[in-house]
Amino acid sequence: MSIAVFASGSGSNFQTLVERSRMEDWPEPVSLLICDKPGAKVLERAEKLGVPSASFAPKEYPGKADYERDVLHLLRLHRIKWIVLAGYMRLIGPVLLEAYAGRIVNIHPSLLPAFPGKDAIRQAYEYPVKVSGVTVHFVDEGMDTGPIIAQVPVAITEDDTLESFAEKIHQAEHSLYPDVVYQLITGKIRPPVPLSASEK
């Protein structure tokens, strides 16, 4: 059993997860990248790191369920137990939510429930708030709405630019996400719904 990361963009969180999982010899490795944006930088990172990847074009499917059924087939072939979203710019639909109930997590660059959705770093900076941060949460059918697992605050100081603040957010993500995923796969964090017997 192992972990699949889903990503659409740059993949810095994906890379950090892979590196930490190898450094610490995790019981369940990151063994698959699912990407829904052909040509995304994260695919290059996967190749360099030697992690198998699959690139999908969801628009070529009649609907989300058809796309997710293909993804699910691949996840089962790779014996994936956990889905870790890292900059995956798409809502998870019922096919994957049912198959992976309680086993999908996401990272979001704000202190949820503040600033959900796209461009959360900019939204917080422009509001402007004094403190924003990073949230890791279980995934449900909503946009950044599932049960919160962990949060860390990140201050916006007087001399921060959007870029320097974004950099602090990403550093916080790279430190928090591997810690949370490790605790999840080692049973220190319990999923919010019962896992089926075969998945325990």
Residue 173 contacts ligand GRF per CB under 6 A: yes
The residue from 9, 29, 58, 93 that contacts ligand GRF (CB under 6 A) is 9
Residue 13 contacts ligand GRF per CB under 6 A: yes
The residue from 108, 137, 170, 174 that is catalytic is 108
How far apart, in whole angstroms, are the C-alpha atoms of residue 137 and residue 118?
Answer: 16
Options 2-10, 30-38, 57-65, 95-103: segment touching ligand GRF (CB under 6 A) = 2-10
Fill in the per-residue mask, 21 to 60: x = in contact with ligand GRF (CB under 6 A), - = not in contact.
----------------------------------------
Could you tell me if 14 and 44 are in contact, meaning their C-beta atoms sit under 8 angstroms apart? no
How far apart, in whole angstroms, are the C-alpha atoms of residue 199 and residue 91?
Answer: 23
Residue 139 contacts ligand GRF per CB under 6 A: no
The contacts of residue 55 (CB under 8 Å, 6+ apart) are: 35, 36, 37, 38, 40, 43
69 assigned to a ligand binding site: no
> Minimal CA–CA distance to 13: which of 81, 78, 84, 75?
84
DSSP string, 139-193: --SSSS-SPEEEEEEEE--TT--HHHHHHHHHHHHHHHHHHHHHHHHTTSS--SS
Alpha-carbon distance values, 88 to 108, 117, 183 (Å): 10, 12, 21
Query: Is 108 marked active-site?
Result: yes
175 assigned to a ligand binding site: no
Structure tokens at 10: 């740059």
In the complex, least distance from residue 76 CB atom to ligand GRF, rounded to whole angstroms? 25
In the complex, least distance from residue 33 CB atom to ligand GRF, rounded to whole angstroms? 11
Nearer to ligand GRF by Cβ, of 158 and 163: the residue is 163
Strand 80-85 to strand 104-108: parallel, antiparallel, or no bridges (unpaired)? parallel
90 assigned to a ligand binding site: yes
Residue stretches of the annotated binding site:
11-13, 64, 89-92, 106
Residue stretches of the annotated binding site for (6R)-10-formyltetrahydrofolate:
64, 89-92, 106
Question: Which residues contact ligand GRF (rule: CB under 6 A)?
Answer: 7, 9-14, 86-87, 107-109, 173
